[in-house]
Amino acid sequence: MKAHLTRRYMFSASHRLHSDEMSEEQNRAVYGKCNNPHGHGHNYMIEVTVSGPVDERTGMVCNLVDLDGFVHQQVVERYDHQNLNLRPEFARNVPTTENLCIAIYEIVKQGFRLAHLEKIRIEETMMNSFEYAGEKSR
């Protein structure tokens, strides 16, 4: 029997949406107030959804302690109270929440092997959320 588990985590980070490929005017037109030279911050809520068979012995898809430990160490500690523009993974990519979602997906996909990663969902504001489920979702 396959089941899904979704776990929520939070962190705060800042970013400036700005592309070196575009002029200052183009950046302002595309990103609006999110192109503020001083940046701006969000309290991100991320959801990690994993799946797998329910272990007959434990009754779980995976141990929550293992998932929580991995996500806190590899994701929350990496991004919490950081300027995303200064992170190496955004040296060539604009740190939009879409790109942040993909980056977090890749971190979890590469490092957490105790369950199948289904998707990452990030809520940036009450009005904006983003999901990424890997290449198959394109």
Global model pTM greater than 0.85: yes
pLDDT on residue 31: 97
CA angle 18, 81, 33 (to 5 degrees): 30
State which H helix or E strand residue 115 sits in: none
Contact 45, 97 (CB under 8 A): no
Residue numbers annotated as active site: 34, 81, 124
pLDDT on residue 65: 97
Contact 13, 85 (CB under 8 A): no
pLDDT on residue 35: 97
pLDDT on residue 136: 72
DSSP 31-90: HGGGG-TT-EEEEEEEEEEEEEEPPTTT-SSS-HHHHHHHHIIIIIHHHTTEEGGGSGGG
pLDDT on residue 99: 98
Contact 44, 123 (CB under 8 A): yes
pLDDT on residue 1: 78
Contact 29, 103 (CB under 8 A): no
Domains identified in the chain and CATH numbers: 2-137 (3.30.479.10)
3-class SS of residue 21: coil
Measured torsion, CA atoms of residues 132, 99, 7, 43, in degrees rounded to the nearest 10: -140
Q: Are strands 2-15 and 129-132 parallel, antiparallel or unpaired?
A: unpaired
What tens-digit pLDDT sequence spans the chain (138 residues)? 799 999 999 999 999 999 999 999 999 999 999 999 999 999 999 999 999 999 999 999 999 999 999 999 999 999 999 999 999 999 999 999 999 999 999 999 999 999 999 999 999 999 999 999 998 744
